[in-house]
A and B are shown apart, each in its own frame.
Chain A
Amino acid sequence: MKQSGPLLEVRDLSVVFDTRRGPLTAVDRISFDLSPGEILGVVGESGAGKSLTGTAITGLLERPGRIGGGEIRFEGNRIDNLPPEQMRRLRGRRIGAIFQDPLTSLNPLFTVGRQLVETIQTHLDLGREQARQRALELLAEVGIPAPEKRIDHYPHQFSGGMRQRVVIALALCANPKLVIADEPTTALDVSIQAQILAVLKKLCREHGAAVILVTHDMGVIAETADRVAVMYSGRIAEIGPAAQVVKAPRHPYTEGLMGSIPVIGTGADRLTQIEGSMPRLTDIPAGCAFHPRCPCARADCAAVRPEPRPVGDGKVACVLYDGGGI
């Protein structure tokens, strides 16, 4: 286990769906790194490939989806081609996951305690009583009041926010080094979202876990993430420190995305919006996938697919930044 290098390295990862009319590429050769303890936000419109990236890392892609190429390294070891049983041992133990809808993430027929104990005992060599003790501690950590009482309750006895706290406890119960949170607050009340994010952030820091936070909510990203990756049509358009991407976006798409966030007090009557919509997987344009909607598009945008180039502290995939002497 390398200590110095990145926790997770994704290189040229593609996710492909085999259909009758041939393979569709939903995630197209993306690369990024994640340092231990870092929170990486992944944003983009629906269908940009954000969730699929997370699913591919956990090894839970379901047919007809599959990893079409590239590699994923976790703590220095390749994990994209592990046999299912070894991948299972990694899941939950080293890589935790949190899903979007806490109402459907828990088995309705088992108490939360049973689900926690079961997960703990799968990964850690603990007896029943010790596992239950650990479950109680976790419930207390995620901020569930009276855990001794609540541990024997069924999921339907918890509110949505409380259930998402249980889900976080489940994801963290074996101290994973990486948590993939797929829209963890989207299904919750706005008033609860901030609480859940705070819990997630605090716990991951305490447990030393890095987070890939998939969301389409720029506000969530700005508040939570250290770095941000902006995805468009299965590619990373821009990746960099959160402050830089949010405050000074370089890619025209990111700019458009930021422009569409309402800012109170600026007196603008209309929000800027990006014309058109994201292309379907079946007809992604040649060259830069964004060029038909791009206000800065040039002639060569349709011809060459821009590769991510270092700009500032991050990387941007756009011809505007391609020329600079490289």
Chain B
Amino acid sequence: MLAFIVRRLLQAVLVMLAVALIAFAMFRFVGDPVNSMLPEIATTEDRQALRAQLGLDEPIPTQFAKFIGGAVQGEFGISYRNKRPVSDLIVERLPATLELVFAAALFALLMGVPMGVYTALNRHGFVSNLLQIISLIGISVPTFVTGILLILIFSVWLNWLPSFGRGEVVQLGWWSTGLLTISGLKSLVLPSVMLGLFQVTLIMRLVRAEMLEVLRTDFIRFARARGLTDRAVHFGHALRNTLMPVITIAGLQLGSMIAFAIITETVFQWPGMGLLFIQAVSFADIPVMSAYLVLVALIFVVINMIVDLLYFVVDPRLSVGGDRA
């Protein structure tokens, strides 16, 4: 198992290096940032000075090495737009996005798994068919449409929940949280529902399909033949065996939710990394963009590693060697 972790870590480092190369290459391809940072009347000396200050006058391999070195320490240079260190901007925005994504993921799992189990066990029931149809709609409708509908219903018509922003936040060290205030929690509801709704339907359908598959296996038939209660058969034996694929997909989806958060954050003006990224794109703010790219890649890699390690927890066949008698 240790060998497995080391191997995965090495793979992760390789992936991150490749992503860093792409992020670094963005600096080359999007034109000379110096042009947009200095006024039109700037002299060649001014340009040279700024170039030296930004480290753009050095050979490319040196620049890449410096970029990596900085990135490892969380330094991505100075934002072209805000003239502030990118790392500060990210640290400011990261908690908002993570809180949103984890709330959405929690919502998706708490809704999706029970609904999947229910529809699998009552395959021909009326409620199951209804859920199946609704989930089809949930999968087909683009998230920004559901977001706008949510705002229309719950903010404009019913006036229950705020339509934008994060509400009041409380600082816990560098982490700003909206989870401790009423207005923060209320603001979190609509965005996380919007972000999680698609995942609910996905997880529900996945759990349902896996569950139906497992319910057909011999060990479930044997569990029934042993006279175990339906409850033990369904939740003890069947559900646990469906968890492997669900963990995989849920993990991957967690990564893509961080990426999809861009749309949600735009719709709800949620002050997270997605919004920061959108603003950076419209301003060609390369340091921010490349930092965002590296960070999202890092989150993906970390989540995938956690998923792989969870397999070991769930499936003893991986961790316990087969010393057969």
Contacts and interface: CB of A to CB of B under 8 A. Distances in A.
Interface of A: 58, 60, 88-93, 96-97, 99, 101, 104-111, 118-119, 122-123, 144-145, 150, 153-154, 156-159, 162, 167, 170-171, 174
Interface string B216-238: 01110111111111101000110
Give the secondary structure class of B's interface.
Answer: helix
Contacts of B219: 104-108
Given A107-B237, A109-B240, A109-B241, A154 B317 contact: yes
Contact of B236 (A118, A144, A145, A174): A118
A190 B304 CA distance: 45
Contact of B226 (A119, A156, A162): A119
B6 interface: no
Closest 4 CB pairs of A and B: A92-B227, A97-B225, A91-B227, A104-B218
B228 A154 contact: no
Contacts of B83: none
A123 B218 contact: no
B93 to A, nearest CB: 40
Interface-central residue, A92, A99, A107, by most chain B CB under 10 Å: A107
B244 to A, nearest CB: 9
Given A91-B226, A97-B225, A108-B315, 4 more contacts: A99-B225, A104-B217, A107-B219, A107-B223
Contacts of B61: none
A212 to B, nearest CB: 13
B229 A122 contact: yes
Interface band, chain B = 20 to 34
B316 interface: yes
Contacts of B225: 58, 60, 91-92, 96-97, 99, 171
B224 A91 contact: yes
Interface-central residue, B316, B317, B322, B323, by most chain A CB under 10 Å: B316
Contacts of B227: 88-93, 119, 122-123, 174
A159 B226 CA distance: 22
A159 B228 contact: no
Interface-central residue, A90, A99, A150, by most chain B CB under 10 Å: A99
Contacts of A91: 224-227
Contacts of B232: 118, 122
A109 B324 contact: no
B320 interface: yes
Contacts of A154: 316-317, 320
Contact of A99 (B222, B229, B317): B222
Nearest to B225: A97
A174 B224 CA distance: 14
Contacts of A108: 219, 241, 315-317
A104 B237 CA distance: 13
B314 interface: yes
A80 to B, nearest CB: 16
Interface of B: 217-219, 221-230, 232, 236-237, 240-241, 314-317, 320-325
A150 B324 CA distance: 10
B215 to A, nearest CB: 10
A122 B317 contact: no
Contacts of B324: 157-159, 162
B135 to A, nearest CB: 25
A99 B218 CA distance: 8
Contacts of A110: 237, 240
A145 B222 contact: no
A157 B325 CA distance: 7
27 contacts: A60-B221, A88-B228, A88-B229, A89-B227, A92-B225, A97-B225, A101-B218, A104-B218, A105-B218, A107-B219, A107-B240, A108-B219, A109-B314, A109-B316, A118-B228, A118-B232, A119-B228, A122-B232, A150-B325, A156-B316, A156-B317, A156-B320, A157-B321, A157-B325, A162-B324, A170-B226, A171-B226
A312 B325 CA distance: 47
A142 B178 CA distance: 60
Contacts of A174: 227
A40 to B, nearest CB: 18
B221 A99 contact: yes
B226 A122 contact: yes
B44 to A, nearest CB: 70
Interface-central residue, B219, B240, B241, B317, by most chain A CB under 10 Å: B219
Contacts of A144: 325
A159 B320 contact: no
Nearest to B321: A157
A156 B225 CA distance: 21
B116 to A, nearest CB: 18
Contacts of B325: 144-145, 150, 157-159, 162
Contacts of B228: 88, 92, 118-119, 122
B240 to A, nearest CB: 5
B323 A157 contact: yes
Contacts of A162: 324-325
A309 B265 CA distance: 82
Nearest to A89: B227
Contacts of A60: 221, 224-225
A123 B227 CA distance: 8
Contacts of A111: 316
A141 to B, nearest CB: 16
Nearest to B220: A107
Nearest to A84: B230
B117 to A, nearest CB: 17
